[in-house]
Amino acid sequence: APTQHPPAVRTTCAYCGVGCGVLAKPDGRGGAAITGDPEHPANFGRLCSKGSALGETLALDTRLLHPMRRGADSAMARTSWDDALDTVANGFADVIAKHGPDSVAFYLSGQLLTEDYYVANKLMKGFVGSANVDTNSRLCMASSVAGHRRAFGSDTVPGTYADLDQADLIVLVGSNAAWCHPVLYQRIIANKRARGATIVVIDPRRTASVEDDDLHLPVAPGMDTVLFSGLLVHLADTLALDDAYLEAHTTGLTEALVRAREIAPDIAATAAMTGVDAADIARFFALFRATERVVTCYSQGVNQSAQGTDKVNAIINCHLSTGRIGRPGMGPFSLTGQPNAMGGREVGGLANQLAAHMGFDAEAIDRVGRFWRAPNMARREGLKAVQLFEAIDRGEIKALWIMATNPAVSLPRADVVQEALRKLDLLVISENVISNDTVAAGAHVLLPAAAWGEKDGTVTNSERRISRQRAFLPLPGEAKPDWWSVAQVAQRMGFGDAFAYHSAAQVFREHAALSAFENDGRRDFDIGALADLSDEAFNALDPVQWPARAGKPATDTRFFADGHFFTPDGRARLIAPAMPALHEAPSPAFPLLLNTGRVRDQWHTMTRSGLSPRLGAHLPEPFVELHPDDAAAAGLKDGGFARITTTHGACILKVIVSAGQRRGSLFAPIHWSGETAATARVGALVAPVTDPFSGQPEAKATPAAIARV
């Protein structure tokens, strides 16, 4: 008789913020065939190399399958869930009793599902009484959050992916979308081919995204604000500002324009500071001026900067001043890195947000406290990621729970982070993998977490679209969803009633209800229409964009069409940025600037993508890329090895000599790790310098030296 196979399960890709729909067809042997979901509105069936190789990453060889606890002999040994959860709950309670609620912290991840994020955030901010909940999303899009809040009064992504289909000019700033958001990039290229859209890429490097562009502006590191200040001046001087829009819907033009003139008074000054050819700048300015439908996409090249928030606002200023926002085919557009960085923002998974996009004002604290019936609300912002690990290093944080992230590789000064973790009285790690650099730092308790394909809940992509991640494989060993582990610990800490969750659907309903609680459309994030979903309806939920307000049409998904913003006076704010400057300039000892980033076929610290031989074949070794002139000056040849040194660390990488690399810059990918920094852990080299508004670290311009080994 023919073998009966279960039907394909609709789920969402585990990797980037594009949020592509996936059809997973289990093979009955622990694997699954993966194809793109033709009905998902983010990708219409397309998948990139990483998404299409997801089926190669499902093996259990490297998985953590049972709880583990460090014994009196310092060795990790298998234990029961009951013992592990008691250890975590008692350990956190003891530290809080001795040192207060701000002596404990959670460090979360954009890989978590919204339901995991929600329960962890609720426990820490409503019941422990601290806001020390931050996430690796701090490294990804915190500057975009801060820029949105300064300009719009809320962390609102104005547009949708459909705007990329309708735009006539698409500007990519600090974004190698061809590698980092590939399916969205294919959509941009489809617009170019079908409608003739023009593409401008602003990036110090000649990346893969430059191959299909019409104009590449190789801006000097850190000088994006100069370029967009010059653009604002040019728009004003050529009478291209939308005076009626500015008058009716904005404030701050005068101050922003005065500052823009100080920064970049004309094209010649803009060219001198950015290092870009003046004729190319003039061409970009003319294109922007003449094109009504402009979308400016930006990503980590903008966000991961000591002046990232100002860069975001310099971009938004140009859209607000021309009224190019809230209408089809136009607007600033933040391309989120992780699959659920947006969901983390929604629940308040950042230390400076409370919940459901609310901040720490007294009204919001009271509202959320009443909704949660919380006994111990946090009353002020907590520590952001880099500060959080500095506080651990100083001994101020004594208990930490890390979920689904590997900060001993990914944070700036990763060696110091790894040492700081060893100082904790209690380090709890919820993980899929049996070992990584963070686990090796000395966890006291390891909790086996459900992985992609096993866990069930929701994620939100870059266009505010909530999609279901559905399980299509059984939970292996004793793995459990993260929301379950947190709820179990909360119950053991005496908060049982508020954490008596039995399903992801129940958590989601509560999250949706909180988003609409005493809201009436006054806040941007509202998915109250989803608060009454039955378990069956939650399971069948189609991708849906927020706002999803009760009684409002679901098609009403572009923000700011009416010119109303979420500031107290309803007006958008143009922001005067600080004078652009590198936090630390190159010196004779460190004459180059280290820029870190991703490669096409790997993800984060490779715990999943590294399992696929196909993905590993693209760029199999850690490397540093540099310009031929810099290579010649250092006596380096393509294929040789070099030691990269900064004031924070050193590592040895294979050399790739490329004319696409800007003179004076080094590019090294973030993915590889190892027992010592002398291998390829480039996070160890990065300075712990952060943006003053967002707390996002600078990952693009650490002074560095290179030498042959």
Contact (CB, 8 A) for 575 and 256: yes
Query: Tokens in use for 321?
Result: 């001043």
Asked if 141 touches ligand SF4 (CB under 6 A), the answer is no
Q: How far is the CB of 51 from ligand SF4 (least distance, A)?
A: 2
Q: How far is the CB of 342 from ligand SF4 (least distance, A)?
A: 13
Residue with Cβ nearer ligand SF4 (303 or 519): 303
Piece in contact with ligand SF4 (CB under 6 A), picked from 41-49, 97-105, 314-322, 479-487:
41-49
Asked if 325 touches ligand SF4 (CB under 6 A), the answer is no
Asked if 453 touches ligand SF4 (CB under 6 A), the answer is no
Taking residues 177 to 196 in sequence order and writing x for each that binds ligand SF4 by CB under 6 A, - otherwise, the string is: ----xxx-------------
Q: How far is the CB of 13 from ligand SF4 (least distance, A)?
A: 3
Burial of 588: CB neighbours in 10 Å, binned 0-12, 13-18, 19+: exposed
Cα(136)–Cα(144) distance, rounded to whole angstroms?
Answer: 14
Piece in contact with ligand SF4 (CB under 6 A), picked from 42-50, 238-246, 489-497, 667-675:
42-50
Q: How far is CA 212 from the centre of its chain?
A: 26
Residue with Cβ nearer ligand SF4 (54 or 358): 54
Burial of 61: CB neighbours in 10 Å, binned 0-12, 13-18, 19+: exposed
Q: How far is the CB of 509 from ligand SF4 (least distance, A)?
A: 26
What residues contact 190, with CB distance under 8 A and at least 6 apart? 165
Cα(665)–Cα(632) distance, rounded to whole angstroms?
Answer: 14
Asked if 344 touches ligand SF4 (CB under 6 A), the answer is no
Piece in contact with ligand SF4 (CB under 6 A), picked from 9-17, 168-176, 239-247, 449-457:
9-17
- Choice from 19, 230, 329, 349 touching ligand SF4 (CB under 6 A): 19
Q: How far is the CB of 434 from ligand SF4 (least distance, A)?
A: 25
> What is the three-class DSSP state of 623?
strand
Q: How far is the CB of 188 from ligand SF4 (least distance, A)?
A: 12
- Nearest Cα to 403, choosing from 177, 215, 709, 121? 121
Q: How far is the CB of 397 from ligand SF4 (least distance, A)?
A: 33
Select the residue whose beta carbon is closest to ligand SF4 and give its number.
51
Count of residues in contact with ligand SF4, rule CB under 6 A: 14
What residues contact 396, with CB distance under 8 A and at least 6 apart? 102, 103
Asked if 16 touches ligand SF4 (CB under 6 A), the answer is yes
- Choice from 34, 48, 164, 388 touching ligand SF4 (CB under 6 A): 48
Phi-psi region of 459 (alpha: psi -120 to 50; beta: other; left: phi over 0): beta
- Choice from 26, 41, 51, 703 touching ligand SF4 (CB under 6 A): 51
Asked if 24 touches ligand SF4 (CB under 6 A), the answer is no
Phi-psi region of 464 (alpha: psi -120 to 50; beta: other; left: phi over 0): left
- Nearest Cα to 386, choosing from 47, 636, 683, 78? 683
Asked if 50 touches ligand SF4 (CB under 6 A), the answer is yes
Asked if 15 touches ligand SF4 (CB under 6 A), the answer is yes
Cα(217)–Cα(212) distance, rounded to whole angstroms?
Answer: 14
Asked if 608 touches ligand SF4 (CB under 6 A), the answer is no
Q: How far is the CB of 209 from ligand SF4 (least distance, A)?
A: 14
Asked if 343 touches ligand SF4 (CB under 6 A), the answer is no
Asked if 13 touches ligand SF4 (CB under 6 A), the answer is yes
Q: How far is the CB of 613 from ligand SF4 (least distance, A)?
A: 18
- For strand 665-669 and strand 623-626, is the pairing parallel, antiparallel, or unpaired? antiparallel
Helix 482-492 to helix 114-122 angle (10° resolution) is 20
Query: At 678, which amino acid appears?
Result: A
Q: Which of residues 548-587 bind ligand SF4 (CB under 6 A)?
A: none
Q: How far is CA 345 from the centre of its chain?
A: 10
Residue with Cβ nearer ligand SF4 (182 or 323): 182
Cα(378)–Cα(121) distance, rounded to whole angstroms?
Answer: 11
Sign for the pseudo-dihedral over CA of 479, 482, 487, 493: positive
- Nearest Cα to 484, choosing from 502, 510, 498, 471? 502
Q: How far is the CB of 44 from ligand SF4 (least distance, A)?
A: 11
Q: How far is the CB of 183 from ligand SF4 (least distance, A)?
A: 4
Q: Which of residues 82-101 bind ligand SF4 (CB under 6 A)?
A: none
Query: How many other β-carbons are positioned within 10 Å of the β-carbon of residue 598?
Result: 17
Asked if 452 touches ligand SF4 (CB under 6 A), the answer is no
Residue with Cβ nearer ligand SF4 (51 or 147): 51
Residue with Cβ nearer ligand SF4 (127 or 161): 161
Residue with Cβ nearer ligand SF4 (16 or 120): 16
Whole-angstrom CA distances from 654 to 598, 637, 642 are 16, 10, 6
Interface with ligand SF4 (CB under 6 A)? 13, 15-16, 18-20, 43, 47-48, 50-51, 181-183
